[in-house]
């Protein structure tokens, strides 16, 4: 937090709820800029300064403003799910990464809607932000427009991309930074979503003594208790976390990196590694696929991944044919049994 010069004018920069905000002080004189900043500082520190800003409205408030003038027939149904996820978030705090996570999580719910239905929700939110940006000047960016729906959630819903060991090694060797490498290891060995990883703290989510990760897998809805998943650490993950634990961030977070920084780092990593068609969420698919390939039953995979429905987990069923071999072996046993009965007769 402080002042700096941009061109001839002095500006000040501040952090509020994890986002960087810059604002002009409207003067070319440093002394006057320092005085103006000092006048604003008390309100900045207690948060009241931000409440006065017109752009600091919640998604719910934006929705109410939007439907009064532009509501369409299906908007009420689409808003139901959007408000549960984003209702209390400031519209300036919603990022493309949050949008991607929303789309993926909606597709994995217990009563998952069809991609076309989820697209209606995405499309509504995109229209709302377009109006907020172009007509009301409430935001500068449209986080929904920055996400290509078909890349995240194809309408055929058949994409299940996972990494081979060779691809994983390429990604790790080409990691943009050391923290990027650690995040990739964490993702592949825990199956956690990006949002779950970035919100993890040492105090609330990590138990190094028991080698466990505890993650909330749903937002608490009115009258409903939040749900959690507990993931035992693999030896690979535990070794990385044990080393990483030596340099804890003052923030208390496991990984001191935000969503935009991770997005940039991931893009640079996959480009350098030359791993095609690679999304960060594919680390989660890799976790589930490898468990299936090792013969882990689908119910256990569902529990570890935090899927609300076994239907979501069933997409990995074709990766575990070895678990069906004992059943098919019964056909051979039938001949043996029948032969034995014939001999006895």
Is it the case that residue 55 has pLDDT exceeding 60?
no
92 phi and psi, to 5 degrees?
Answer: -80, -10
Q: Show the DSSP H helices in the chain as ranges.
A: 30-46, 48-51, 59-70, 75-86, 96-107, 115-134, 149-152, 165-173, 178-190, 194-199, 202-205, 235-244, 259-273, 282-293, 298-305, 310-313, 325-344
**Residue, of 272 and 224, whose pLDDT is higher:** 272
Element (H, E) at 212: strand 212-216
Tokens read off for 77: 């149904």
CATH code of the domain containing 64: 1.10.150
Domain boundary among 152, 174, 194: 152
Q: Which region, left, alpha or beta, applies to residue 17 given φ > 0 means left and ψ of -120 to 50 means alpha?
A: left
* Per-residue confidence (pLDDT) for residue 116, from 0 to 100: 85
Same domain as 314, residue 172: yes
Number of residues written out for the chain:
345
Shared-domain flag, residues 229 and 313: yes
Structural domains counted in the chain: 3
Question: Is 109 within the bounds of a domain?
Answer: yes
- Both 68 and 25 in a single domain? no
The structure tokens listed for 129 are 């932000």
339 located within any domain:
no
Burial of residue 122, with CB atoms counted within 10 A of its CB: 0-12 exposed, 13-18 middle, 19 or more buried: buried
Range of weakest confidence among 91-95, 101-105, 115-119, 319-323: 319-323
Residues 6+ apart with CB under 8 A from 264: 176
Q: Are residues 118 and 173 in the same domain?
A: no
Residue 315 lies in a domain: yes
| DSSP assignment letter at 296 | -
Q: Are residues 180 and 296 in the same domain?
A: yes
Q: Specify the pLDDT at position 219.
A: 57
- 234 plus 111 within the same structural domain: no
**Domain match, 172 and 114 both:** no
Specify whether 207 is located in the same domain as 306.
yes
Dist CA 308 CA 314 (whole Å): 12
pLDDT of the residue at 251: 82
Residues spanned by the domain of 262: 165-319
* Helices 115-134 and 59-70, axial angle in degrees (round to 10): 90
For residues 200 and 307, state if they share a domain: yes
pLDDT over threshold 60, residue 90: yes
Q: Measured in whole angstroms, how far is the alpha carbon of residue 131 from the centre of its chain?
A: 26
Answer yes or no: pTM beyond 0.75: no
Q: Are residues 185 and 92 in the same domain?
A: no
What distance in Å separates the CA atoms of residue 54 and residue 65, rounded to the nearest whole number? 13
Give the residue-averaged pLDDT of 151-162.
70
State the Cα–Cα distance between residues 35 and 113, nearest whole angstrom: 55
């Amino acid at each position: 937090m402080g002042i700096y010069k941009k061109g001839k004018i002095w500006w000040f920069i501040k952090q509020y709820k994890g986002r960087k905000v810059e604002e002009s002080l409207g003067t070319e004189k440093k002394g006057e800029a320092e005085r103006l900043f000092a006048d604003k500082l008390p309100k900045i520190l207690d948060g009241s300064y931000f409440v006065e800003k017109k752009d600091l409205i919640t998604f719910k408030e934006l929705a109410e403003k939007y439907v009064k003038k532009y509501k369409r027939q299906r908007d009420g149904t689409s808003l139901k799910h959007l408000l549960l996820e984003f209702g209390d978030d400031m519209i300036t705090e919603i990022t493309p990464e949050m949008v991607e996570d929303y789309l993926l999580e909606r597709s994995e719910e217990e009563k998952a809607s069809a991609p076309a239905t989820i697209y209606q929700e995405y499309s509504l939110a995109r229209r709302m932000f377009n109006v907020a940006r172009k007509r009301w000047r409430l935001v500068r960016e449209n986080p929904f427009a920055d996400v290509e729906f078909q890349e995240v959630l194809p309408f055929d819903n058949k994409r299940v991309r996972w990494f081979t060991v060779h691809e994983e090694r390429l990604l790790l060797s080409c990691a943009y930074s050391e923290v990027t490498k650690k995040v990739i290891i964490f993702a592949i060995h825990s199956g956690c979503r990006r949002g779950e990883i970035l919100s993890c703290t040492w105090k609330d989510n990590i138990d190094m003594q028991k080698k466990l990760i505890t993650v909330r897998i749903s937002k608490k809805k009115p009258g409903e208790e939040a749900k959690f998943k507990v993931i035992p650490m693999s030896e690979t993950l535990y070794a990385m976390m044990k080393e990483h634990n030596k340099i804890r961030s003052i923030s208390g977070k496991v990984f001191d990196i935000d969503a935009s920084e991770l997005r940039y780092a991931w893009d640079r990593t996959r480009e350098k590694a030359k791993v095609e068609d690679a999304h960060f969420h594919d680390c989660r698919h890799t976790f589930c696929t490898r468990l299936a390939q090792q013969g882990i039953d689908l119910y256990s995979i569902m529990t570890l991944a935090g899927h609300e429905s076994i239907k979501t987990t069933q997409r990995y069923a074709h990766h575990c044919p070895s678990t069906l071999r004992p059943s098919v072996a019964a056909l051979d046993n039938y001949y043996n049994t029948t032969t034995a009965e014939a001999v006895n007769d």
